[in-house]
Amino acid sequence: MPSAPAWPEAKIEHLRAMVKAGKSAGEMATELHTTRNAVLGKLDRLGILLGGAKRHHAEPRRHKLRPPPRNSVTPSQRPLVFQPTPPRRFSWEAAVDTAPEPA
């Protein structure tokens, strides 16, 4: 898989200057002749944030433990006996069995 073209140092410095000037990612992309996603990806890899945003590395959300539904079957209530199913009959087998016998 071919790698993406490298960003020249001059282009990165121009990108940093535009961030300091307060330009949006779309404006930077237009000026650098690239896509907005490419600009955002490069800024992320450089650790630069736009608009004074702060990285927020919060603890993962802890979900509330909910009681089980009233009608649910718990694993201890499930039958442990294996119930074999009868062999399946295919439509072509049924057709052979019901064919009239020759006289």
Helix (H, G, I), strand (E, B) or coil at 38: helix
pTM, to two decimals:
0.48
What digits encode the pLDDT tens for the residues 22-32?
999 999 999 99
* Euclidean distance between the first and the last CA atom of the chain, given in angstroms as a whole number: 71
Single-letter residue type at 55: R
DSSP string, 70-96: TTPPPGGGS-----PPPPP--HHHHHH
Coil, strand or helix: which one is 19? helix
Place of tokens 């509330």: 64
Give 60-94 pLDDT, tens digit per residue: 677 778 777 776 666 666 666 667 777 777 766 65
DSSP assignment, residue 16? H
